[in-house]
Structure formats: C-alpha cells, structure tokens
Amino acid sequence: MHAIARAVAVLKPGARSILNRFSTSCRWTTLTRVISVREEAAADIPAVEEVRRASWRAAYAGLIEARHIERATARPSRLSQPDPARHTLVAVTRENPVVVGYASFGPERSLLSVHAHPAHAGLASGGGGSPADAPLTDAGLAGETGEVYALYVSPDWWSTGTGRSLMAAALTALSEAGYRRAVLWVLAGNARARRFYDRAGFAADGAENVLIGLGGILEVRYARSL
C-alpha cells in the first residue's frame, strides 16, 4: 500500500472519520458548525465537482474573467480520472450528510503536469495527458515533497473552520507518509486564500507562474515544512 494511502486509511468511508467539534483547545477544530473529514468515495465525485464550481465562481470573481471560470468548471476536473498518486479527503456535514469541501494532495508535480489538465486553474496547455502519467518533480518522486493540489469549500461554509480541518488532515497524511515539505499554488491576487495559507504555516517561496489560459493571471507557490 502507498505511504499516503496507509496514512489516510482511517478516513475511508464507513471507518471512523475525524470529527471536528467546537473547541478552543486546537486551532484546527474551532468550528461554528460540526463536520467530519473522511476519504473521498466514488459516489462523492458529483458533489465534489459542485463544490469546485461554486467555490471558483465565488472566490475567483474579479480575479478571473467569468468566461474562463465557466469554461474551466464546465469540464470534469482531475478528480474524475483515476490517479493512484492523488488522495482526496472530503468534509461532510454531520446532519443530513452533504459534502461541503474537499482537499486533494499527493507527491509534488512538475509545473507542466500541474497545468496539463484543461479543468485545472492553469489551462496552460489546453490539453495534456492523463493525471496518472503526469510527471512528478524529483522531490515528489523521492517522497520528500508533497503538494496540496486543491482545497475548496462551499461558499456557505467559508469561515466555519472547514478549510482548516481539511488542510490539517491533508498535512497530517503527508507528514505520516514521510514527506518533509509541502507546497501549493495560489493566485497572486487571491488575498483571502493567501491569508488562509499564511495561517496554515505556508509562505511564498519565490516561484511564480503565468496562467496563459486564464488571461495571463499570475500564481505563486507557497511552501512549508512538515
């Protein structure tokens, strides 16, 4: 079993999930609503795609032209394609269970593979191969650097602690799998997301990339130790 798969094994559907309760004892569990975090199941994919669409429209309004947002979110994301290296956790409401957020992560990908899929924020190549064949960085291949590929929460669940819980679970899984460093990419102008990543212990490491397919918008890389 892959190292990350072992680390998230306790989060499988039907197993005991991580329950996030009201608490002031841990910065990751100070929630205004109660959720559980578990590994994604195939049946969750439509709900996850809806979370992505709603979050893109709310978070990227004014940063990305609406036509680019609609084009990107109209197509299936990487999550609809099998990839043994990628792991996804979902945040589910405790009452009347509904998926309200997700985090996808795995070994660090090369810049080319990050933007190879047309539904990714990059859209740089407009095509690309299957995620399973996407190249990894040397640090990703060596199991040294992991990456948070995506973290989205339904707008109605913003500022409830759901994103913090997903990030904490993803970083814990990467750390327990042996990764010593984590990276992610964020739009340079997304101040809300950048504050969130700052609070999660990340900081910009100087790497930048221009997303040609989204109108030339700039993204920056954030990194932290695990």
pLDDT per position as a tens digit, 162-181: 999 999 999 999 999 999 99
Q: What gap in Å lies between CA 18 and CA 22, rounded to an integer?
A: 13
The whole-model pTM stands at 0.80
Q: Indicate if the pLDDT at residue 19 is higher than 90.
A: no
Average pLDDT, the chain: 80
Would 209 be classed as within a structural domain?
no
Q: From residue 100, give the alpha-carbon distance in Å to each of 27, 111, 155, 202.
A: 20, 28, 9, 23
Would 218 be classed as within a structural domain?
no
User: How many structural domains compose the chain?
Assistant: 1
Lowest pLDDT segment from 1-15, 108-122, 150-164 = 1-15
Provide the pairing of β-strand 203-211 with 217-225.
antiparallel
Would 207 be classed as within a structural domain?
no
- Domain span at residue 162 reads 3-179
Residue-wise pLDDT tens digits, 75-111: 777 766 768 888 999 999 988 899 999 999 999 998 7
Would 64 be classed as within a structural domain?
yes
Would 119 be classed as within a structural domain?
yes
Would 211 be classed as within a structural domain?
no
Q: From residue 68, give the alpha-carbon distance in Å to each of 57, 117, 124, 125.
A: 10, 14, 12, 14
CATH of the domain at 127: 3.40.630.30
Q: What angle do CA 16, 18, 22 make, to 5 degrees?
A: 130
Would 138 be classed as within a structural domain?
yes
What's the chain's Rg over C-alpha atoms?
16
Q: Indicate if the pLDDT at residue 161 is higher than 50.
A: yes
Would 43 be classed as within a structural domain?
yes
Provide the pairing of β-strand 18-20 with 217-225.
unpaired
- Biggest distance spanned by C-alpha atoms of the chain: 46
Residue with tokens 């309760």: 21
Lowest pLDDT segment from 19-23, 135-139, 213-217 = 19-23
